[in-house]
Amino acid sequence: MRDDADRFSELPRAMSARAPGLWLAEAALRRLLDQIAVGHLTIVTPDGRRLSSRGGRPGPEATLVLHRWRALRRLATGGDVAFSEAYVDGDWSSPNLPAVIELAAHNLPDISARAAAWGPARLVNRVRHLLRRNSKAGSRRNISFHYDLGNAFYRLWLDDGMNYSSAIEIAPGQSLEEAQAARLDRIAEMLEILPGHKVLEIGCGWGALAATMARRGANVTGITLSREQLAYARESHAADPALAGRTDFHLVDYRDVGGRYDRIVSIEMMEAVGEAYWPVYFAKLRECLAPGGTAVLQVITIAEDRFETYRRNTDFIQRHIFPGGMLPTKTHIAGHARAAGLEPVESLCFGNGYAQTLAEWRSRYMAARSRTEPLGFGPAFHRLWEYYLGYCEGGFRAGAIDVGLYKFRG
């Protein structure tokens, strides 16, 4: 039993005296403090009190600063989506946002689902998510929503190669650029790229991996649904004589790709496909992969024991960052691959590397804040993206989500 339990028993009366009528906020705070079994949470209330709860097992040390009581009411009635919106609106903050998310992931895996079920928020968010299904037209809208914010925006905080996916690790003294180059080399090695190979990259981003493979002598076809990414990849590769004639980029849906390729690679694309289309995605991989060919996917996954709750609800990422997205589990990846006729060969998981990468992105993003405003991104957008990067970092640190490279044979 925590040594501060008596103090918590006095909390509802004290809060009610100071803020009559906020019973929903009081109930949410009681539940929050009562469920800390891992780590240490300190809550600073709007009237300056500091309330702490330490779990029986070691974990993150997190501080949550409430600027308005309504943040707790929003959590109680709208779950984690509403609580994230409360952060964007300035209702709460933290000196270490990823630690708050990590602590919540360890201690409160079901609280947002239960809270959202109390009101219409769960239904509203679920309907919004379903309306963003990844039909061909829907996929174009969903991809554009996130990736067409502008190349100038992403250049401010991504590495020099414009890699928007995780490094395997960032070793002490290593730059993000060096870590990302090492990952690209590792992917090329897993693909067993040889001169003259025909390679299809589904979801080619800004072209960094295509450049790595082309420099090894491959002929790469890259596809994307982002006009901004397409323009950047074409322009940057056209300016590099070493890539002349070896890369070709197209604005096309993966479902419309034809032909056969010696190698196929797809980096953090499955997450954007949508659960209903996972069989279609893997069937297309098999259709386009030459007999005996190799495919490598980099995929963010959600923990097996969290999937059903996640699947039934709409989270912050689906609502505000990646419309139409859905994280699979590792079991889903292997199962859909085998069903399509692809045999799993090798996997490499590196969730901590993603936490490191996100920490570096968040640091760069915060440093570039003043330069995002002339691009048309105001304070609310900035806080939304600050929360997004911290939310993901905390999730990886807690092990709620993971990332891996998965190799298959055709």
Residue 5 lies in a domain: no
Q: What is the pLDDT of residues 98-140, one digit of tens each?
A: 999 999 999 876 444 444 444 555 555 545 545 556 788 889 8
State whether 278 and 355 are in the same domain: yes
- The catalytic residue among 204, 288, 349, 392 is 392
State whether 192 and 316 are in the same domain: yes
Assess whether pLDDT exceeds 60 at residue 320.
yes
Question: Mean per-residue pLDDT for 260-269?
Answer: 98
Looking at every residue in the chain, the average pLDDT score rounds to: 89
State whether 214 and 353 are in the same domain: yes
State whether 305 and 405 are in the same domain: yes
CA 186 to chain centre: 22
Residue 389 lies in a domain: yes
Assess whether pLDDT exceeds 80 at residue 6.
no
State whether 89 and 157 are in the same domain: no
- Count of structural domains, the chain: 2
Of the residues 127, 162, 188, which one is the last residue of a structural domain? Answer: 127
Assess whether pLDDT exceeds 50 at residue 21.
no
State whether 252 and 366 are in the same domain: yes
State whether 103 and 238 are in the same domain: no
Query: Is 42:92 a contact under the CB 8 Å cutoff?
Result: no
Is there a catalytic annotation at residue 392? yes
Residue 392 lies in a domain: yes
Residue 7 lies in a domain: no
State whether 186 and 65 are in the same domain: no
Question: Mean per-residue pLDDT for 382-389?
Answer: 97
Check which CATH number belongs to the domain holding 161 and give it: 3.40.50.150
Q: Can you give the pTM of this predicted structure?
A: 0.90
User: Among the listed ranges 74-88, 101-115, 367-381, which one has the minimum average pLDDT value?
Assistant: 101-115
Check which CATH number belongs to the domain holding 89 and give it: 3.30.1050
pLDDT over 90, % of the chain: 76
Give the per-residue pLDDT at 124: 53
State whether 239 and 371 are in the same domain: yes
Q: What is the pLDDT of residues 144-165, one digit of tens each?
A: 989 999 999 999 999 999 999 9
Residue 6 lies in a domain: no
Q: What range does the domain containing 216 cover?
A: 149-409
Residue 139 lies in a domain: no
d(CA 180, CA 63): 32
State whether 224 and 371 are in the same domain: yes
State whether 220 and 346 are in the same domain: yes
State whether 313 and 169 are in the same domain: yes
Of the residues 63, 95, 127, which one is the last residue of a structural domain? Answer: 127
Give the per-residue pLDDT at 25: 60
Residue 82 lies in a domain: yes
Task: Check residues 339 and 122 and name the one with the higher pLDDT.
Answer: 339
Q: What is the pLDDT of residues 288-303, one digit of tens each?
A: 999 999 999 999 999 9
Q: What is the pLDDT of residues 160-208, one digit of tens each?
A: 999 999 999 999 999 999 999 999 999 999 999 999 999 999 999 999 9
Residue 227 lies in a domain: yes
